[in-house]
């Protein structure tokens, strides 16, 4: 029997607000444990929540960017459950009247429905110490604002899931509402998965997979869990509705607990928070000020700058790169050259230093000057790359570095001619090899000439002079 995978996603997005959703505590990542807490986020008696209006604004932005309808009057509810990282014994969330509903996005040729987007607070974080058997709890994350984005069960392949999450992360970054860093927990995804015979219309029993820390892990977990369910059904057994954990080292999912339904959480309206009432003017104002998203930039770059699709994709892969590129162009850098440097040297330097694009230290002004020196013939490309590496971390002065190290390109053609003549005289065997049809010999002669000129000559000039002198002999 042929089987079809059916999946829906629940994605939790940590918002990049400076303070938490219901109190003034900081949301900064990496603080010492339990240093960013107060009576409100710790749920102490008598402490009352006050909604952070920036969370509402960010939620509306995301809803509009995902094609949702914005609920004019949304409400908060209490989701009751006991767990050590939830000091109040309940989570403030939205069940009955979420902020956004009925959206849709196009991903990999497929329409993915957005069931809803709701606001809620995050819980704390548990740290297990197997060596001692202890479990420690850090409450800093309690009350950090979250958006939970719930899709319809419209996914059929791991590739669609990953493409959707990449698109979602990109839009969140361009909107400026979240950094989308999975490694820091800013983007966390749970996958609800079931299988059914191809052509069937009835949904199978689903499991929910948690602990998915990367796009690669998500794809592997889907592959394993779908095969596990298919194997059960083909043996005549049944799939149990449950929450499962994915173990990245073993590449397998394991049962955590039975899957809860909404009724298990005993939801009821949050008595300490009033409804969130949004006017059409407020919603329209946010809509009017939405930034240009990645897809729109790619279309514009292709049309305005005649860049290839690959270049457009690379320079818009993060909003920091797109801003860097646009500032380069504004400083007079030819678009294709700017894109080439970003795709090559900039991304290479970031990768070598394990930095994300927002960690760029070199400024567009510095790179634009370096590219200008190459265009003016004062530096050759290879030397320019060395200068780039030297000034990248400190955004150093390109002209000062070139002058201090004597790197300006040799403009004296007579010097190049004399050097080429000397190289040909010192390497008669290579000359003979080239005349015999060995192309590598010519590259050797170019290299020898560039070495004598300390890499400061224009390689094209060296090649031209070499060919002229070889032709004269």
The yes-or-no verdict on residue 412 having pLDDT over 60 is no
Mean pLDDT of the chain: 91
Q: Which ranges in the chain are annotated with CATH 1.10.10.410?
A: 413-472
Confidence of residue 49 (pLDDT cuts 50, 70, 90): very high
The pTM of this model reads: 0.85
Strand residue runs (E) in 226-356 = 242-247, 252-258, 268-269, 276-277
The yes-or-no verdict on residue 3 having pLDDT over 90 is yes
What is the CATH code of the structural domain delimited by 413-472? 1.10.10.410
**DSSP per-residue letters across 70-103:** EPSEE--EEEE---TT-TTSEEEE-SSS-SEEEE
Q: Which residues contact 294 (CB under 8 A, 6 or more apart)?
A: 170, 171, 174, 316, 317, 319, 322
Separation between Cα atoms, residue 412 and residue 407, nearest integer Å: 14
Confidence of residue 207 (pLDDT cuts 50, 70, 90): very high
Confidence of residue 104 (pLDDT cuts 50, 70, 90): very high
pLDDT at 415: 61
Range 328-332 contact pairs with CB under 8 angstroms and sequence separation of 24 or more = 328/364, 328/367, 328/368, 328/371, 329/305, 331/364, 331/365, 331/368, 332/368, 332/372
Confidence of residue 429 (pLDDT cuts 50, 70, 90): confident
Residues 366/398, Cβ–Cβ less than 8 Å: yes
Q: How far is CA 313 from each of CA 140, 154, 253, 316, 317, rounded to the nearest angstrom?
A: 37, 26, 34, 5, 6
Separation between Cα atoms, residue 26 and residue 24, nearest integer Å: 6
**DSSP per-residue letters across 97-118:** S-SEEEEEEEETTEEEEEEEEE
DSSP code, position 457: S
Tokens of 406: 């004597």
DSSP code, position 289: T
pLDDT at 242: 92
pLDDT at 410: 56
**What are the tens digits of pLDDT across the range 245-258?**
998 889 999 998 77
Separation between Cα atoms, residue 186 and residue 180, nearest integer Å: 5
């Amino acid at each position: 029997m042929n089987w079809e995978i059916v999946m829906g996603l629940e994605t939790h997005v940590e918002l990049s607000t400076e303070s938490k959703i219901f109190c003034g505590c900081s949301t900064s990542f990496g603080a010492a444990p339990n240093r960013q807490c107060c009576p409100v986020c710790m749920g102490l008696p008598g402490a009352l929540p006050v909604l952070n209006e920036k969370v509402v604004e960010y939620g509306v932005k995301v809803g509009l960017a995902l094609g949702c309808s914005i609920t004019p009057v949304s409400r908060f509810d209490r989701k009751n459950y006991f767990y050590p990282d939830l000091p109040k014994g309940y989570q403030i969330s939205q069940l009955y009247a979420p902020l956004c509903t009925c959206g849709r996005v196009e991903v990999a040729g497929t329409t993915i429905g957005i069931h809803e987007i709701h606001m809620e607070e995050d819980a704390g974080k548990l740290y297990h110490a197997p060596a001692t058997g202890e479990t420690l709890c850090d409450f800093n994350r309690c009350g950090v604002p979250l958006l939970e984005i719930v899709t319809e069960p419209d996914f059929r392949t791991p590739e669609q899931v990953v493409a959707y999450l990449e698109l979602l992360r990109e839009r969140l970054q361009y909107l400026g509402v979240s950094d989308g860093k999975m490694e820091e927990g800013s983007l966390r995804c749970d996958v609800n998965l079931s299988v059914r015979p191809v052509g069937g219309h009835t949904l199978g029993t689903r499991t929910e997979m948690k602990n998915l820390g990367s796009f690669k892990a998500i794809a592997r977990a889907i592959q394993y869990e779908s095969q596990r369910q298919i194997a059960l059904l083909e043996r005549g057994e049944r799939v149990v509705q449950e929450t499962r954990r994915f173990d990245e080292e073993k590449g397998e999912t394991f049962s955590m607990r039975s899957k809860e339904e909404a009724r298990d959480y005993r939801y009821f309206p949050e008595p300490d928070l009033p409804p969130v009432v949004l006017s059409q003017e407020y919603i329209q104002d946010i809509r009017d000020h939405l930034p240009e998203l990645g897809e729109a930039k790619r279309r514009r770059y292709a049309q305005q700058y005649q860049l290839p699709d690959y270049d457009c994709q690379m320079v818009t892969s993060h909003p920091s790169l797109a801003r860097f590129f646009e500032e380069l162009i504004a400083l007079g850098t030819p678009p294709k050259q700017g894109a080439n440097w970003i795709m090559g040297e900039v991304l290479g330097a970031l990768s070598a230093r394990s930095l994300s694009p927002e960690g760029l230290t070199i400024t567009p002004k510095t790179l634009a000057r370096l590219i200008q020196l190459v265009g003016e013939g004062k530096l050759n490309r290879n030397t320019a790359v060395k200068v780039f590496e030297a000034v990248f971390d400190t955004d150093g002065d390109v002209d000062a570095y070139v002058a201090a190290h004597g790197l300006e390109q040799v403009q004296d053609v007579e010097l190049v001619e004399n050097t080429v003549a000397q190289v040909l005289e010192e390497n008669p065997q290579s000359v003979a090899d080239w005349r015999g049809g060995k192309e590598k010999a010519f590259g050797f002669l170019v290299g020898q000439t560039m070495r004598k000129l300390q890499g400061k000559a224009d390689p094209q000039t060296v090649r031209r002079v070499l060919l002229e002198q070889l032709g004269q002999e």
